Amino acid sequence: MSARAEAVSTTASDLLSLMKPRLSSLVLITTAGGMFLAPGPLSAGHALVTLLATAGTVGAANTLNCYWERHSDQFMERTRNRPLPSGRMEPAVALWFGISLALVSLPALALGANLLTAALGLLALLSYVFAYTPAKARTAAAMIVGAVPGALPPLMGWTAVTNQVDAGGFALFAILFLWQMPHFIAIALFRKEEYAAAGLKSVPLERGDDSARAQVVLYLVALVPMTMLPFQLHIAGSWYLAAAAVLGLSFLGLGAWGFFKRLGKPWARQAFFFSLIYLTGLFAALCLDRVPRG
């Protein structure tokens, strides 16, 4: 490979990494889940455009987040090798890449789905970049702000089909909103020192580990009954209800174990990984036991 080709390949790889592919893939899965569960038809072409445009919107938000946090990222092990903190890319390149992605993706979302879905995408981008990102250095409450754009993708998938925000779409939003809390707190517990070095606020740093573990339990207590809503709204059937109960009680049991035993980083890592298994299992059960619409 020539030096020029290698440089182009490295730049392309770095631009892709700014979009945080692993995080974006989770967003696309929940968006697709929202589309599949929503009542009404959506052509394969429109569904594909919606997913690609959503990926672009999320990628834009993540890229602009990387631009904003390029200085603090150098203090965290998991982020210090990103293109900006490592010095492999000029900040202006990332800035204009993020802006360009947004300018292409949001109109495509309006065309592929509808204006409501595009508006939700714009809300997700603006709240993530201009509310959540700067707030992370000021208050642990930024976690709650960040959970809003994080919970919008399944609602966007729902509105892409229905063109309205109704009880079903709100239930998906609420489930993902509450799920993010124990997920975020678990990360903050086992990366506590990195957050402190980067100057970022978190529940463990502001309120202590005991409070963080207690909040994990409280949010899980709220999450478990919320996952019953898709059954009550006739979105999914009894098999889903059983799966949601087993998954939810298992997650709650793991959280309670950490709280009462005052467990540390190994437990927090377990809680983090289980949160991913939990969400995957919950959405799989939702889609597999979807109630057919007439």
- Percent of the chain surpassing pLDDT 90: 78
* pLDDT over 70 at 294, yes or no: no
The whole-number average pLDDT for the span 143-150 is 95
Measuring CA to CA, which residue among 134, 166, 172, 132 is closest to residue 152? 172
> Class of 9-139 per CATH?
mainly alpha
- Model confidence over 75-96: pLDDT tens digits? 877 788 888 888 888 999 999 9
> Buried b vs exposed e over 249-270: b needs ≥16 C-beta within 10 Å?
eebbebbeebbeeebeeebbeb
Q: Provide the pLDDT confidence category of residue 4 given band limits of 50, 70 and 90.
A: low
pLDDT (0 to 100) of residue 42: 80
pLDDT (0 to 100) of residue 26: 86
Q: Which CATH architecture has domain 166-294?
A: Up-down Bundle (1.20)
> Rounded to an integer, what distance in angstroms lies between the CA atom of residue 99 and that of residue 179?
29
pLDDT (0 to 100) of residue 3: 58
87: left (phi over 0), alpha (psi -120 to 50) or beta: left
- Model confidence over 206-222: pLDDT tens digits? 999 999 999 999 999 99
Helix (H) or strand (E) run with residue 110 in it: helix 91-112
DSSP state of 72: G
Q: Provide the pLDDT confidence category of residue 14 given band limits of 50, 70 and 90.
A: confident
The structural domains of the chain, with segments of one domain joined by +, span: 9-139, 166-294
- Model confidence over 275-290: pLDDT tens digits? 999 999 999 999 999 9
Task: Output the pTM of the full model.
Answer: 0.93
Domains 9-139 and 166-294 fall in the same CATH topology: no
The whole-number average pLDDT for the span 259-268 is 96
